[in-house]
């Protein structure tokens, strides 16, 4: 058991006073058997006229803010403490029918998994990349295939932090041979979907060990990875940025079918486009 404390601050600066429109914040961790929210603190400046909490279509907890005053600085600050139970190693307890790939999901689960199996970026570049290390002419152990796919992304591409919004297409990531954690997560998801797996996007945080521990990429801001549905094991965490399999060092906040559905903070403002100066994000994850 590990207690993680996460401090997350986002600041928007404007050169002239603007009135913020509705903002949507995704920061409350998903409670489960392997992580439990102990406490949270939320501060917004200027103070919102109304704050509401809802659950979205994926069961994520969202906070909605509406404002009625103008400002040149908009600040969101959150602090969460999570009781986290890490997996020591991947434990693939796979149903007999799914022990080797290819396989077909159980007919009772298939209708619910279909939206996560359907690819969104069908591209020959994905198949060409997969063909370098996946043999499709013979059965392969399912666990081995997924771990190979995760490691292939981790070892084949260079991590490069990018502050601009949006996610590269898998074809762009393959062509550029570099990307951010969200680019790598989407590439793995689409590659897994092309092989018939159900995959979904995960947003949250990664714990960075001290210099004596393993190096983790994607710190200093929110982090993303993906989950693959494995019969008998359920939704299994795969972080292709760091080559992690399982939940070790990963604090899960939200899940979705596409990256655009799991943005940590989004919103609008009333004013001129050129009034927006910058956005500053700071994330610190520590134990205790």
- Select the more confidently predicted residue: 1 or 200: 200
So what's the pLDDT on residue 214?
A: 45
Regarding whether 273 and 256 lie in a shared domain, the answer is no
So what's the pLDDT on residue 217?
A: 54
Regarding whether 251 and 156 lie in a shared domain, the answer is yes
Residue 91 placed within a domain: no
Regarding whether 208 and 277 lie in a shared domain, the answer is no
Regarding whether 226 and 144 lie in a shared domain, the answer is yes
So what's the pLDDT on residue 136?
A: 77
- Domain region containing 216: 96-261
Regarding whether 242 and 102 lie in a shared domain, the answer is yes
Question: Any residues with CB less than 8 A from the CB of 29 and at least 6 apart, and which?
Answer: 35, 37, 80, 82, 204, 251, 252, 253
Closest CA to 170 of 195, 153, 151, 154: 153
Tokens (6 digits) for 172: 């762009």
Tokens (6 digits) for 64: 């909605």
Closest CA to 170 of 202, 125, 232, 215: 125
Neighbours of 172 (CB within 10 A): 16
CATH of the domain at 38: 2.60.40.2250
Residue 68 placed within a domain: yes
Regarding whether 26 and 157 lie in a shared domain, the answer is no
Q: Could you report the per-residue pLDDT of 16-47, keeping only the tens digit for each?
A: 999 999 999 999 999 999 999 999 999 999 99
Q: Could you report the per-residue pLDDT of 142-199, keeping only the tens digit for each?
A: 999 999 999 999 999 999 887 667 899 999 999 999 999 999 999 999 999 999 999 9
Residue 90 placed within a domain: no
CATH of the domain at 102: 3.10.620.30
Regarding whether 268 and 247 lie in a shared domain, the answer is no
Regarding whether 157 and 44 lie in a shared domain, the answer is no
Residue 169 placed within a domain: yes
Regarding whether 237 and 152 lie in a shared domain, the answer is yes
Regarding whether 225 and 160 lie in a shared domain, the answer is yes
Tokens (6 digits) for 196: 């018939």
In angstroms, the Cα distances linking 148 to 80, 145, 226, 263 are 34, 5, 15, 28
Question: How many folded domains does the chain comprise?
Answer: 2
pTM as predicted: 0.91
Q: Band the pLDDT of 215: cuts 50, 70, 90.
A: very low
Regarding whether 129 and 44 lie in a shared domain, the answer is no
Regarding whether 247 and 109 lie in a shared domain, the answer is yes
Q: Could you report the per-residue pLDDT of 267-281, keeping only the tens digit for each?
A: 999 999 999 999 999
73-99: average pLDDT: 90
């Amino acid at each position: 058991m590990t207690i993680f404390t996460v401090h997350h601050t986002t600041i928007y600066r404007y050169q002239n006073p603007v009135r913020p429109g509705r903002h949507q914040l995704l920061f409350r961790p998903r409670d489960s058997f392997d992580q439990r929210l102990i406490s949270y603190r939320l501060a917004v400046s200027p103070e919102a006229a109304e704050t509401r909490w809802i659950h979205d279509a994926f069961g994520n907890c969202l906070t909605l803010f509406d404002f009625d005053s103008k400002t040149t600085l908009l600040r969101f600050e959150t602090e969460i403490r999570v009781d986290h139970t890490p997996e020591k190693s991947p434990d693939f307890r796979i149903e007999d029918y799914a022990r080797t790939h290819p396989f077909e999901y159980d007919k009772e689960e298939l209708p619910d998994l279909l939206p996560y199996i359907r690819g969104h970026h069908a591209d020959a570049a994905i198949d060409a990349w997969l063909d370098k290390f996946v043999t499709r002419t013979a059965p392969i152990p399912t666990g081995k295939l997924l771990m190979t796919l995760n490691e292939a992304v981790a070892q084949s591409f260079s991590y490069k932090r990018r502050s601009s919004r949006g996610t590269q297409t898998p074809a762009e990531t393959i062509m550029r041979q570099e990307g951010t954690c969200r680019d790598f997560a989407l590439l793995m998801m689409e590659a897994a979907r092309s092989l018939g797996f159900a995959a979904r996007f995960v947003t949250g945080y990664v714990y960075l060990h001290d210099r004596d521990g393993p190096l983790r990429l994607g710190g200093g801001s929110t982090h993303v990875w993906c989950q693959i549905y494995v019969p008998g094991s359920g939704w299994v965490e795969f972080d292709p940025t760091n080559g992690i399999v399982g939940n070790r060092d990963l604090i899960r906040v939200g899940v979705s079918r596409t990256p655009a559905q799991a943005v940590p903070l989004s919103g609008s403002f009333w004013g001129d486009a050129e009034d927006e100066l910058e956005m500053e994000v700071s994330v610190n994850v520590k134990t205790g």
